[in-house]
Structure 1
Amino acid sequence: MGADLRTSIDVSATGLRAQSLRMRTIAENIANADSVSDAPGGDPYRRKVTTFAAELDRATGGNEVKVTGIREDQSDFGRIYQPGHPAADEEGYVKTPNVNSLIETADMKAAQRSYEANISAVEAARNMTMRTVDMLK
């Protein structure tokens, strides 16, 4: 296989891994959208966000995707009035996670599209490689 085709597959593979981690992080956010603290006045689940950067692979010259981290979203928690709840503070308010299910759903769709685009790129490179091999027979 040519170096350029192999590089394109390698770059797409890093995109697949990055989007897979992003989808896992989003799934964790959705799963914890209603998770509150066990302690009165305690903090609930805090939304997480996956961050990326382009990184040059010096061996191939391709710009690959690197996951730079999973950070916590520092936006404010919600608050609901539930004086009888075990997590309620002295005023009767329970802090709720800073997870918005609509945003998470949109982010999941974007990650899914990016994942599928990387799969398409891998398949295209593979098909080109197979055509080249067929021509050389």
Structure 2
Amino acid sequence: MISPLDISTSALVAQRVRLNTISGNIANMSTLKNEEGENKPYQPRFVVFKTDEDKAEGGAAGVKIDKVEIDQSEPKYRYQPDHPLAITEGKWKGYVAYPNIDMNEQFVDALEASRAYEANVGVIEVTKGMTRQTLSILA
């Protein structure tokens, strides 16, 4: 049987990964080159959760990370013809490609993830208290 502690622990791990991904997005809001040094802006990541079917018994299941996906949306373009990384030809000539990251959206996602984290810590505390009370009654 999967315990409430296992369910909450799996949620804590999942939300931690989500917060780390969000903080990576915020940290790379101004990154204009990829790991290979090409003039390609950072592409934001987002976490996809799924039910942890491996431990599911009696309708109770935890959560696990399905994958961390890369957002494939177009970058934001700003006209900066004097910038050293400005596009030199084509439709976007004179523009600089910036990551398509909305700071407000990232903050709201981070707030949601931290609240979910706090809620699961609360569940763990309540479960520990109930277990402690049960043991004191039985003793």
Quick check: 1:70 aligned with 2:78?
no
Q: Supply the distance in 2 between the matched residues of 1:40 and 1:22 (Cα, whole angstroms).
A: 26
Q: Supply the distance in 2 between the matched residues of 1:130 and 1:58 (Cα, whole angstroms).
A: 25
Aligned to 2:6: 10
Q: Please report how far the alpha carbon of residue 57 of structure 1 lies from its aligned counterpart in structure 2 after TM superposition.
A: 3.5
Q: Supply the distance in 2 between the matched residues of 1:29 and 1:104 (Cα, whole angstroms).
A: 8
Distance change (3 Å), C-alpha of 1:124 and 1:111: same
Q: Please report how far the alpha carbon of residue 83 of structure 1 lies from its aligned counterpart in structure 2 after TM superposition.
A: 1.2
Aligned to 2:29: 33
State the aligned residue count.
133
Quick check: 1:85 aligned with 2:83?
yes
Q: Please report how far the alpha carbon of residue 89 of structure 1 lies from its aligned counterpart in structure 2 after TM superposition.
A: 0.6
Q: Please report how far the alpha carbon of residue 71 of structure 1 lies from its aligned counterpart in structure 2 after TM superposition.
A: 0.4
Quick check: 1:23 aligned with 2:23?
no
Aligned to 1:131: 133
Distance change (3 Å), C-alpha of 1:101 and 1:26: same
Q: Please report how far the alpha carbon of residue 64 of structure 1 lies from its aligned counterpart in structure 2 after TM superposition.
A: 1.0
Of the structure 1 ranges 18-27 and 33-42, higher mean CA displacement relative to structure 2 is found in 33-42
Q: Please report how far the alpha carbon of residue 37 of structure 1 lies from its aligned counterpart in structure 2 after TM superposition.
A: 2.2
Over aligned residues, Cα RMSD in angstroms?
Answer: 2.1
Give the helix-richer structure, 1 or 2: 1
Checking the alignment, whether the CA contact within 8 Å between 2:83 and 2:96 is kept in structure 1 is: yes
Q: Please report how far the alpha carbon of residue 121 of structure 1 lies from its aligned counterpart in structure 2 after TM superposition.
A: 0.7
Aligned to 1:110: 112
Q: Which runs of 5+ in 1 are unaligned?
A: none
Distance change (3 Å), C-alpha of 1:59 and 1:40: closer
Q: Please report how far the alpha carbon of residue 40 of structure 1 lies from its aligned counterpart in structure 2 after TM superposition.
A: 10
Q: Which runs of 5+ in 2 are unaligned?
A: none
Q: Could you list the per-position Cα deviations for residues 101-131 of structure 1 after superposition, in whole angstroms to 9, with x for gaps in the alignment?
A: 0000000000001001110111111000000
Deviant stretches of 4+, over 6 Å: 38-41
Identity %: 35
